[in-house]
Amino acid sequence: MGQAEEYLSLVRVEMGRAVSPAAGAPDHFYASMRYALGWMDERFRPTSPGAATMLRPRLCLLACEAAGGDARAAVPAAAAVELLHNFTLVHDDIQDNSPQRRHRPSVWKLVGVPLAINSGDGLFAAAHLALERLAEEGLTAETVLSSVRELDLVSLRIWEGQHMDLSFERRASVSLEEYLAMIARKTGALMGLSCYLGALVAGRDPGSLRAFRDFGEQLGLAYQIRDDLRGVWQDEATTGKREMEDIYGRKKGYPAVRALELASGGQAARLTRVYASEEVKEEDATWVRELMTSLGIPEEGHERARAHVSRAVESLDRAGAGGPARRALEDVAREVLG
């Protein structure tokens, strides 16, 4: 991964600066943010970094390097996208009523919903503080202002996607096009921002910036489809959530969207009843997963994810990405496919 790999430790330092209490500030507030990042255990004792992949900071640093820039200068931007990502996770878990995250209790399960909301808001503010430190890396005021504006625009897109996602839960069916539009906002936009900011720090022109963003957005689509498949077919030891969590939660992820489109007759009627119920029983969840398997949804989903990865890699040509970092970005794309 070249320079970018070396700088991931600096990203954590930068994040730590943004979530450290000033004199007289309430320690527990910052401790709950550090818990969300995986830096503290359930008794708020420091621990080694958790299961977070740091995927978005890696993309930011690699994009900067592949664009011909110094990845060190992009460290504040890389920290900002990771803080923003964790803000979304804290709020998602509350809104989805998900009790676990990364093999341990979600923040809201540990400290309660009101304090968890507050912790998430703190991470959002911390993302801005981290990003504004680009000025200390010698970037112009115009570039720093542009980066903050992009972060806010993408934040709005993420909240659009979350609104769509939550609205889908109240609907009997969701089209594949609607689903793709939703994940383009929730997942694709932030990965696109990660790559965009890296290339922005490197001083790339608007056309190149768009192509780097396209790489991240296509990668985000592939990532979310694969993640939705894991939410149905992988076990708790792998995902950190209970088996078939997305079925129990009646999530309109990729498997559910496609199953509701493809099922017919009595199977369609039962599937609709399950997703309209207040609580999904274990026997119904198992039946739903078996139906999804019989409809070929895992294979279809993998193929669609591969297509998005291919489009992502094609974007690197338009971006003019080069060197070892270009190859590392392609490796990251392949990792997304599992």
Q: Are 318 and 67 in contact (CB under 8 A)?
A: no
- Give me the pLDDT at residue 6, please: 80
Say what the pLDDT of residue 23 is.
81
8 A C-beta contact, residue 97 and residue 106: no
What per-residue confidence (pLDDT) applies to 2?
57
Query: pLDDT tens digits, the chain, 338 residues: what are they?
Result: 556 668 999 999 999 999 999 888 889 999 999 999 999 999 999 988 655 679 999 999 999 999 999 999 999 999 999 999 999 999 999 998 888 888 899 999 999 999 999 999 999 999 999 999 999 999 999 999 999 999 999 999 999 999 999 999 888 889 999 999 999 999 999 999 999 999 999 999 999 999 999 999 999 999 999 999 999 998 777 666 778 989 998 999 999 999 999 999 999 999 999 999 989 999 999 999 999 999 999 999 999 999 999 999 999 999 999 999 999 999 999 999 98
DSSP SS3 for 264: coil
Of 82, 80, 104, 101, whose CA–CA distance to 90 is shortest? Answer: 101
Residue 3 confidence (pLDDT): 66
**Distance of alpha carbon 45 from alpha carbon 119, whole angstroms:** 17
**pTM for this one?**
0.94
Which of helix, strand or coil describes residue 208?
helix
Considering only CA atoms, which of 167, 157, 149 is closest in space to residue 190? 157
* Homologous superfamily of the 3-336 domain (CATH): Farnesyl Diphosphate Synthase (1.10.600.10)
CA distance 258 to 301: 9
Contacts for 64 with CB less than 8 Å, ≥ 6 apart: 4, 70, 71, 73, 74, 77, 198, 199, 201, 202
Both tokens assigned to 275: 């997703």
Q: Are 289 and 244 in contact (CB under 8 A)?
A: yes
